């Protein structure tokens, strides 16, 4: 007999949010490939800018979807969104000030984010 794992919390999928998450993973893969071929530094600024836009749109929409359902971990989830925004605002600030951003630092952050 097969054993089926059941999560403690309900899961649901909202197609628009799911697609945005896929877009994030595609940007991560794009940046990883750029690093692999030696072009990470060329596109890291654009990726940072794109991800700031992503964070604004995606997180606002996701929070709007979750709040009415009294999602048990809403505040924790919202705090993780705030941390993501702050990190990418910091990347953006550094980039705007002319500081070279190590593309692998952005990848490491995104990989950690993906796991959470």
7-38: per-residue pLDDT in tens? 444 455 678 888 888 888 888 888 888 888 98
pTM metric for this prediction: 0.74
Residue bearing tokens 């749109």: 57
CATH H superfamily, domain 15-115: Hemerythrin-like (1.20.120.50)
Cβ atoms of 16 and 7 within 8 Å: the answer is: no
For the chain, domain boundaries: 15-115
Distances (CA, A) of 96 to 50, 51, 86, 93: 14, 15, 15, 5
Distance CA 98, CA 71 (A): 41
Mean pLDDT across the chain? 81
Largest distance between two CA atoms of the chain: 60
């Amino acid at each position: 007999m097969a054993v089926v794992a059941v999560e403690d919390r309900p899961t649901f999928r909202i197609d628009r949010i799911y697609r945005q998450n896929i877009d994030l993973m595609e940007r991560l893969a794009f940046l990883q490939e750029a690093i692999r071929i030696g072009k990470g530094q060329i596109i890291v600024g654009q990726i940072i800018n794109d991800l700031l836009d992503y964070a604004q749109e995606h997180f606002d929409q996701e929070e709007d979807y979750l709040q009415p359902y009294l999602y048990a971990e809403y505040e924790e989830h919202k705090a993780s969104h705030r941390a993501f925004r702050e990190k990418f605002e910091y990347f953006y600030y550094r980039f705007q000030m002319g500081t070279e951003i190590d593309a692998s630092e952005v990848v490491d952050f995104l990989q950690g984010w993906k796991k959470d």
